[in-house]
Each structure stands twice: as C-alpha cells, then as structure tokens.
Amino acid sequence: MFSQNKDIYSEYIKNKIPDWLSGNKKVDDFILERLSNINSHDDVVFEWIPYNQFNKIKETGKNGSITVYSAIWRNGPLHKKYKWSSNYTRDSNKEVALKCLHNLQNPAAIWKNGPLHKKYKWGPPFLLSFFAYYTRDSNKEVALHNLQNPVDFLIDEAKKYSTKNDKLLILYGISQNPDTNDYILVQNYLILSRDENIDNFIQERQLNINSYNDVVFEWIPYNQFNKIEETGKNDSNKEVALKCLHNLQNFVDSLINEAKKYSTKNYNFHILYGVSQNPYTSDYILKDN
C-alpha cells in the first residue's frame, strides 16, 4: 500500500513528472516546494506544463494584461481516483483555462498626453528674437518599467490559489508561450468580464470559498438570461432579480461597493450570485435572488 509519508509522496510524484523543470530557477524552486509539500491524496500536483501539451487553444476573454484561452491539456493533471489507491494517474485530454499574463517584463504603451519638452520660436518685435515655451510630445511610445520582478509577480499570483483539489478554482501549474515568452497559469476554469478590477474582485471571492454554504460568486454572460421582464424601478435601479445600475459615476467602484453589501453565505435572505453587463447599454447588473 502506498505510504502517506510526505517524503515518499513527493519523491514518487517527482518521478512521475520527468520534465517539470521550466528553466527559470525561481519558478523551478517554487514548483519543487509545492511538490515537496504534497502529503495527502487531495493535494494538487503542481507542475511545469510544456506549452506543446495544449491544443484546440481558443481565446475566451481579455482584460488589460490578461488574456484567457480555453485549451485541451493532452496529458492532463496527475490525480488519485481513489483515496486508498497506491498510484497516481493522469486525467488525459482535460479541458483547462490558460490565464496568460502579458508584458510582465517591460510593457510598451502609448502616453496620450506625452512628456513636456522645451521648444523655441521667433517672437516680437519684428520676429527678431527667440522665446522658449513648453509643449507636449503627444502619443509618445514609452516603456513601462515594472518595479516588481515578473517571475515574483507570477509566483505571487500562483500563491493565491489553494493547494487542494476540492476547491472551486484549481491551479494545476505554470506554462509559457515560447513565441511571446508570456507566462501562463493553467487552471480548471476562468471567465473574464473585460474589467480588471471586477475580475480581481470575483477571483478574490471565489478563492475564499471554504464551505458548501459559501456563495459561488461569478461573472455571468448576459446571453445566459432570457424572459427578461421589468417588474419595478427605484431611481436609478431596477428592483428585479437583475438589478441594473444606470449612469454610475465611478461605475466599477460603485458596482463593487454595492456587491460587498451582500453576504457571501447561501443561507441568508438576500443572495448575490454574480455580476453581468448589458452589451447594448453597457449597464452593469447584479444578479440576486
């Protein structure tokens, strides 16, 4: 029978992943640390996943510095089918989400106003003298230098996820696109709203799910709704199961602050299931019960 001893677990698993090295020492040390801490059948076997393991890659969402793709992981993650089993097996041809982190090195950008610089031109009287003035070099291409090391940022993102397989969000490992050098977090699923602040709020809620009583808060595509009928209106809000927020000033901050008023537990009277957006009006929507 397979021993529950931590060292035996980790050595057994490392032997099952011959190609777990990424080529970056910090990434490899982090993966090795995760593998070395496996001591239970329900621990995630975190690994380096070569990019050529993915096929049927399709973009499903984008916001700022993140693009999400659906893909099929050919080998699939290591797991135990049964608690008492002595062997790990792979869940082959696993559908996964590839969370691609762009431009972690030094991204380029267009500075709309541009930097101030001094210029000279002829001035009065009789255009016989120069005078100096400052103007802006608009739409200037610049490099944005990240203060945080890109690999440190990647690892900090990975540390937000639980190491257990029984969570809503499961992070299977890290990969890298060889054409762009963008690092990729490989997880079980992810739907983006196209707004980074909203996506961060949703991810925070989902990563904090620890009980069956916790609400699974999510981004809900508007095309998921049908038979939409207005049943009431109160100032700027429609008091319906779809609570539409109109003409907000700082609309994303207001939306998140409104969402925070709801409990995260399923047994409360008012339950907030998630956020959506009307594609025709751009109004954000809170979906409650």
- When pLDDT is cut at 50, 70 and 90, the band that residue 4 belongs to is very low
**How is residue 111 written in tokens?**
């500075």
Q: Can you give the pLDDT at residue 238?
A: 36
CB 60 within 8 A of CB 98: no
**Bridge partner list, 110:** 141
Distances (CA, A) of 9 to 2, 16, 17, 80, 214: 8, 11, 13, 12, 31
Query: How far is Cα of residue 160 from the mean position of the Cα atoms in its chain?
Result: 11
Q: Can you give the pLDDT at residue 176?
A: 95
DSSP 43-104: B---EE--GGGEEEEEEEEEETTEEEEEEEESS--EE-SSTT-S--EE--SEEEEEEEE---
Q: Can you give the pLDDT at residue 109?
A: 66
Q: What integer is the mean pLDDT of 179-203?
A: 91
Where are the chain's structural domains? 6-103+147-190, 108-143, 218-288
Superfamily per CATH, domain 6-103+147-190: Phosphorylase Kinase; domain 1 (3.30.200.20)
Q: Which of 252 and 83 is assigned the larger pLDDT?
A: 252
**Which residue, among 173, 184, 275, has the nearest Cα to 224 in the 3D structure?**
275
CB count within 10 Å of CB 11 equals 14
The dihedral region occupied by 85, where left means phi > 0, alpha psi between -120 and 50, and beta the remainder, is beta
Distance from C-alpha of 167 to C-alpha of 211, rounded to nearest angstrom: 9
Residue 217 CA neighbour count, 13 Å, CB half: 25
**How is residue 77 written in tokens?**
């993650």
pLDDT > 90? residue 183: yes
